[in-house]
Amino acid sequence: MTSTSYDVIVLGIGGMGGAAVHRLAARGARVLGLERFGPAHNRGSSHGGSRIVRQTYFEGAAYVPLLLRSYELFDELAAETGRDLMVRCGGVMVGAPGSRTVAGSLASAETWDLPHEVLDAREIRRRFPTLSPADDEVALWERGAGLVRPEETVRAGIERATAAGAELRFDEPVTSWEELPGGAGVRVRTPAGSYTAGQLVICAGAWAPEQLAELGLPLAVERQVMYWFAPRGERGVEPFLPDRHPVYIWEEPDGTSVYGFPAIDGPEGGAKVAFYRSNVGTTTPETIDRTVRPEEVAAMAEHAGRHLPDLPGRLLRAVTCMYTSTPDDHFVIARPARYASVTVACGFSGHGFKFVPVVGEILAELALDGSTRHPVELFDPSRFEESRP
């Protein structure tokens, strides 16, 4: 058994944790990162080849300053590593004019004076022949929207963290952690040893309910499925290439949302689609059902076919992941009042990956400085205590 001390220990080296170890090490901290699986694994929430990025944010205008900074840091990380992290293919938020997806995106765009256009159904069809909106649907078009590659982003963060001196241990799950008395920091235990540090940053993803049980956060872990279909048309994926086909989020009249991407995986890679949430109930990382059943594929194909008539042809593959969300769908990023040496970051799933680099910056500031320059008041977990009876 080993026993070693660090300035900061980061629990979890996925999207957020990988960015945190990078930013902490870049500031000269002696950092240990601990991960229960291997680098850029497919067992949590940071896999699947693509995530939508956008700044006209229907989830709330308060997110926009973080998105502006996140775009800067994605570009910086890509330049530093030479990795192809972001594809700016443009994006459309489609639905009824009063839908949350359209109206909320427009509100953010107008609040922050972000470049955008509002397209009627005829203009949507003209610009993007792969899309088939109803006559009464509209879209907000954001030229700067697109996608990021989650696995490449995680690898890039790990690469930069290692280059800056961080010690990363994979296939080493954390079995327990505790604060030491008298403000002496924290102790973290794994099957391989015991480690101490002045600060602990917890980015546990779907394992957050277990690792943060003492906080009583109302976190729900949900099973989600991503699908890749081969287009039915004779031209294959050609009409769905990034220079012709945008990312999209499409809100249907009953509130169901479908989202998707251009074809970025070559002629045989197809195009990826998914439900924003499929309402299949809660799960845990240990009990998640990773089998995708024919009826699930049929439901996805039927919904996608309403909006992209050439897309839901032959299923190429389907992959499960997990969302870990809060009741209000806002994140949790804070130094909880009950701890002197712990920073937590969780509840990101569904819309969190686009914030990865700026969250890494925030976590480094909270752990090393005790505060952050970024607006994170929305993510204070005390909001849940205030809502309890």
Rounded to two decimals, the pTM is 0.96
Residue 106 near residue 140, CB atoms below 8 Å: yes
DSSP letters, 286-334, are: TT---PPPHHHHHHHHHHHHHH-TTS--SEEEEEEEEEEE-TTS--EEE
Residue 216: other Cβ atoms inside 10 A: 12
Burial classification of residue 22, based on how many CB atoms lie within 10 Å of its CB (0-12 exposed, 13-18 middle, 19 or more buried): buried
DSSP letters, 90-150, are: -EEEEE-TTSIIIIIHHHHHHHTT---EEE-HHHHHHH-TT----TT-EEEEETT-EEE-H
Residue 53 near residue 148, CB atoms below 8 Å: yes
Sign for the CA dihedral angle at 131, 271, 323, 357 comes to negative
Tell me how far CA of residue 116 lies from CA of 89, 221, 354, in angstroms.
Answer: 14, 34, 19
pLDDT of 385? 85
Residue 307 near residue 249, CB atoms below 8 Å: no
pLDDT of 3? 56
pLDDT of 1? 44
- Both tokens of residue 341? 């040496």
Backbone φ and ψ of 245, nearest 5°: -125, 125
Give which of 158, 103, 166, 129 is closest to 244, Cα–Cα: 129
The structure tokens 């969190």 sit at: 352
Q: List the domains of the chain with CATH numbers.
A: 5-46+151-218+328-387 (3.50.50.60), 87-146+220-325 (3.30.9.10)
Secondary structure letter of residue 49 according to DSSP: S
Give 242's contacts (C-beta < 8 A, 6+ positions apart). 87, 89, 146, 262, 263, 264
Q: What is the pLDDT along the chain (389 residues), one digit of tens a residue?
A: 455 899 999 999 999 999 999 999 999 999 999 999 999 999 999 999 999 999 999 999 999 999 999 999 999 999 999 999 999 999 999 999 999 999 999 999 999 999 999 999 999 999 999 999 999 999 999 999 999 999 999 999 999 999 999 999 999 999 999 999 998 999 999 999 999 999 999 999 999 999 999 999 999 999 999 999 999 988 999 999 999 999 999 999 999 999 999 999 999 999 999 998 766 679 999 999 999 999 999 999 999 999 999 998 999 999 999 999 999 999 999 999 999 999 999 999 889 999 999 999 999 999 999 999 999 999 999 999 865 54
Residue 6 near residue 32, CB atoms below 8 Å: yes
